[in-house]
A = this chain, B = another copy of it.
Amino acid sequence: MDDDALKSATATLLSLGPQRVWSLLVTVFGDLAQEKGAAIDGPVLSALMSDLQIKPEATRVALHRLRNDNWIMSSKHGRTSRHSLTAHGRKQSNAASPRIYGLPQDAPQSWKMVILKGSTTPDRDQMATLGFIPLMPRVFVGCDAAIAPDGALVLSPDTVPQWIATQLEPRDLADEYAALFAALTTLEQSLPRDHSLAPHDIAVLRCVIVHSWRRLVLKHPQLPPQLYSEKWRGHDCRALVTTLLARLPRPDLGRITPI
């Protein structure tokens, strides 16, 4: 990547959240090598991670950790290491992909509310796993497909007042989506219009985009756009990520220049 504006936009995106190297590797493998049989050669991975501003030693430590977690496996082919997702890592990546790569038009359109019998079980984390966001104690909101826990009172909305958005949107997440939207917009404006990007640059850009998006979108269940305020940039981010990834089609790993 030679263009300063593009480099700067990439750096901004990477600076939005804490960079855990193992998490960045999860993004790289999830985006570029999720298919069964796909693998990334060590020198290609080194080249990508280098442009993602990760030092070789940090990549080695993170790879070691992910092998211990049964997420990544590595094998030797001659003098070259070859890394790929394990069955477990692939399953986890598959499970997260609809939430990361889902198209804006596939967002849930209807929702429901559940009221729990008491305030202690299921707890907020369990409710989030089921796809529900807390509105107030005992009261949760989920998209129509979310499965309500046993014994909950389930309700469908007749009218939806404006205030529900302000009570549902976590403030910190709203700020993070706003920052991400600004950074993605800058990146989009910096992209060359002439298809001049090398496969390596495209791979790096995809990983930066997916990583900064995945970090936020996997934090909370998805609800229909009408539940959010005008200021919420979560859905705009999904639209922009979709546009950007379409402009940066996943490159052939074999065409990425190794270090």
Contacts and interface: CB of A to CB of B under 8 A. Distances in A.
Interface of A: 112-113, 115, 117, 135-139, 148, 151-161, 163-164
A23 B160 CA distance: 43
A2 to B, nearest CB: 53
The 10 A-B residue pairs with the shortest CB-CB distance in the complex, in nearest-first order: A155-B155, A154-B158, A154-B159, A117-B163, A151-B161, A156-B156, A155-B157, A153-B161, A113-B155, A156-B158
Nearest to A163: B117
Nearest to A136: B138
A157 B153 contact: yes
A135 B116 CA distance: 12
A16 B136 CA distance: 40
Contacts of A113: 115, 153, 155
Given A153-B161, A155-B155, 20 more contacts: A112-B158, A113-B115, A113-B155, A115-B135, A117-B161, A117-B163, A136-B137, A136-B138, A139-B139, A148-B159, A151-B161, A151-B163, A152-B159, A153-B157, A153-B164, A154-B159, A155-B156, A155-B157, A155-B158, A156-B158
Give the copy number.
2
Contacts of A137: 136
A156 B136 CA distance: 18
A113, A117, A158: most-surrounded residue (chain B CB, <10 A): A158
Contacts of A135: 115
A205 B56 CA distance: 95
A115, A135, A161: most-surrounded residue (chain B CB, <10 A): A115
B157 A154 contact: yes
A137 B138 CA distance: 10
Contacts of A161: 117, 151-153
A233 to B, nearest CB: 24
Nearest to A115: B139
